Amino acid sequence: MRVAGVGGFAIVAALAIALLSSASGIAQMKSPPDFTFDKAENSPGHVTFSHDKHRAKVDKCTTCHMRDFKMKRGGSGPITLAAKQEGKYCGACHDGKTKIGGAVVFPIDVCDKCHQ
């Protein structure tokens, strides 16, 4: 029976380094594409949601998903202005008080930040 020598150790070390250096690439998920919410009757305009813009500010999908939103689009129920003003959905962070990345998140009543 042969015991792995320095050469065997070098191969194992190289594999470990390769796996560890690619681990950050594995953790990076591709964001879902932007999508537009249906315009409500009294809405000032359509809202297009961008996961990429939000992921640039927050580090994990679970910051919003499973806390404020279901993972499947449409599974959270109607996202209304009243619900957001009560601190649900977007209003959980867009309250003018919550800090993300050291900056205060704009409040839900700054309509033109989202409505186009």
Is residue 92 predicted with pLDDT exceeding 90?
yes
Both structure tokens of 63: 């910051």
Query: Tens digits of per-residue pLDDT, 55-78?
Result: 899 888 888 888 888 888 888 888
Query: Tens digits of per-residue pLDDT, 37-54?
Result: 888 888 899 999 999 999
Q: Which residue has the tokens 């500010």?
A: 57
Domain range summary for the chain, segments of one domain joined by +:
30-113
What confidence tier does 83 reach under pLDDT thresholds 50, 70, 90? very high
Q: Where are the beta strands (DSSP E) in 16-101?
A: 35-37, 47-49, 99-100
Among the ranges given (73-82, 88-97, 104-113), the one the predictor scored with the smallest mean pLDDT: 73-82
Class of domain 30-113: alpha beta
pTM of the predicted protein model: 0.68
Element (H, E) at 47: strand 47-49
95 vs 27, which has greater pLDDT?
95
The confidence score (pLDDT) of residue 72 equals: 83
The confidence score (pLDDT) of residue 18 equals: 47
Query: Tens digits of per-residue pLDDT, 1-41?
Result: 555 555 554 554 454 444 444 444 445 678 899 999 888 88
